[in-house]
Amino acid sequence: MGLYRVVAVVSYRRGLKDPEAETIYRDLILRHGYSAVKEVRVGKQFTLLVEAESPERAVNYVKEICDKLMIYNPVIHELYVTIHA
């Protein structure tokens, strides 16, 4: 058993409006001349310290938590779960 820092990020699915990201992109980034930036995505990040037998099990455990507790809406959100190094 080991302890793993697992990061879950929830963001809007591609193709759906992300009003916060659009505002940041339009009113901050472009307005201040950072034209090399072509897209902004905003998400919520959760960091969990998980005890598990392997990194893969820790990731799967967090995915299960997010699904069962409905931490995100799979119709409009994407979920990315990774081990934080």
Which tokens is 44 given?
A: 């919520």
Domain with residue 73: its CATH number is 3.30.1280.10
Question: Which residues of the chain fall short of a pLDDT of 50?
Answer: none
Any domain includes 31 = no
Structure tokens at 80: 């990315």
Report the domain count for the chain.
1
Considering the domain boundaries, does residue 61 fall inside one? yes
With 0.85 as the threshold, say if the pTM is over it: no
Q: pLDDT at position 85, please?
A: 77
Which tokens hold the place of 10? 């929830």
Residue 58 included in any domain: yes
Q: Which residue has the tokens 């339009």?
A: 26
Does residue 22 lie within any of the structural domains? no
| Torsions phi, psi for 61 (to 5 deg) | -65, -45
In a domain, 25, yes or no: no
Q: Are 72 and 79 in contact (CB under 8 A)?
A: yes
Within-domain flag for 51: yes
> Does 47 fall in a domain?
yes
- How much is the pLDDT for 68? 97
Q: What's the burial of 78, exposed, middle or buried (CB within 10 Å: 0-12/13-18/19+)? A: middle
